[in-house]
Homo-oligomer: A and B are copies of this chain.
């Protein structure tokens, strides 16, 4: 495998990190939607999103986040900061993180020239063709200005519809592990009642991930327990053991969530 290809799965769990770039998320002006999209899609591909960071539009912050995550995880996805304005500094920051140059990429320039009417491709818009040396373009079917991939780092736009389209155009490149399956069991038992027996089930199935998520809805406390893993037989056995706990507490277990 060439050095500049994403690392695929070995014997290990395939992992990923997400970096959301943008002051607007950290000021509270905008509620991020990209993390949840990436999380859900990666899950389906057998890739475990293991960390996410939200960083400000600031060169050093982006360089640090990119370098720390690309060393630690198989894949890194960034969203935001690749438009034409002065605060769009993601491409330059990623180039700096990799210690490579950055310039107008002829392929990207050609995409923009084909898209804009004559005379409309101004200097600011041409900034969107600045791509780090050695990167491969990521297609943008919505607004044309491309994203890019450098080694295991994918750089996407921040607008959710464009980010999602970019993800779909590279999804076939991602190599996951065994699909992660999950079973959810909900009851109106508070966490404090199920905690002991659930801990015992976790001890019996150490390879499964068992998460307990309390909720408080309509003046009632309840808990959804999520069993996640790649072994279906173990998953079913663990979930059934937990349903028995719920029944022993005079409740009927509900498969899935309640809303």
- Chain A: residues with CB nearer than 8 A to chain B? 22-32, 35-43, 48-57, 61, 83-88, 120, 122-125, 127-128, 142-143, 159, 161-162, 180, 182, 191-196, 198-199, 202, 209-216, 221, 226, 228
- The answer to whether B26 and A50 touch across the interface, beta carbons within 8 angstroms, is yes
Given contacts A26-B52, A27-B43, list 10 more A-B pairs with CB under 8 A: A24-B226, A26-B50, A27-B49, A28-B37, A29-B213, A32-B36, A84-B191, A86-B195, A123-B196, A142-B216
The residue that A195 contacts in the complex, of B36, B85, B216, with Cβ under 8 A, is: B85
Provided the pairs A51-B53, A123-B196, A192-B125 are in contact, do residues A210 and B28 lie with their beta carbons within 8 angstroms?
Answer: no
Q: List B contacts of A198 (CB < 8 A).
A: 85-86
Copies in the complex: 2
Cβ–Cβ < 8 Å partners of A192 in chain B: 84, 120, 122, 124-125, 128
Contact indicator A211/B87 (Cβ below 8 Å) = yes
Q: Interface SS of chain A: helix, strand, loop or mixed?
A: mixed
A218 vs B114: C-alpha distance when bound (angstroms): 24
- Cα–Cα distance between A123 and B192 once the two chains are bound (Å): 9
Chain B residues closer than 8 Å to A57, beta-carbon distance: 211
Query: How many Å lie between the Cα of A32 and that of B48 in the bound state?
Result: 17
B-chain residues with CB within 8 Å of residue A161 when the two chains form the complex = 216
Contacts of A215 in B (CB 8 A): 159
A212 in contact with B83 given A124-B192, A192-B125 (CB within 8 Å): yes
A69 to chain B, nearest CB (A): 11
The residue in chain B whose Cβ has the minimal distance to the Cβ of A157 is B214
Q: Is the beta-carbon distance between B53 and A214 smaller than 8 angstroms?
A: no
Residues of chain B within 8 A (CB-CB) of A61 are 50-51
Find the B residue at minimum CB distance from A37. B28
Known: A191-B84, A194-B85. A51 touches B43 (CB 8 A): no
Known: A142-B216, A211-B24. A86 touches B50 (CB 8 A): no
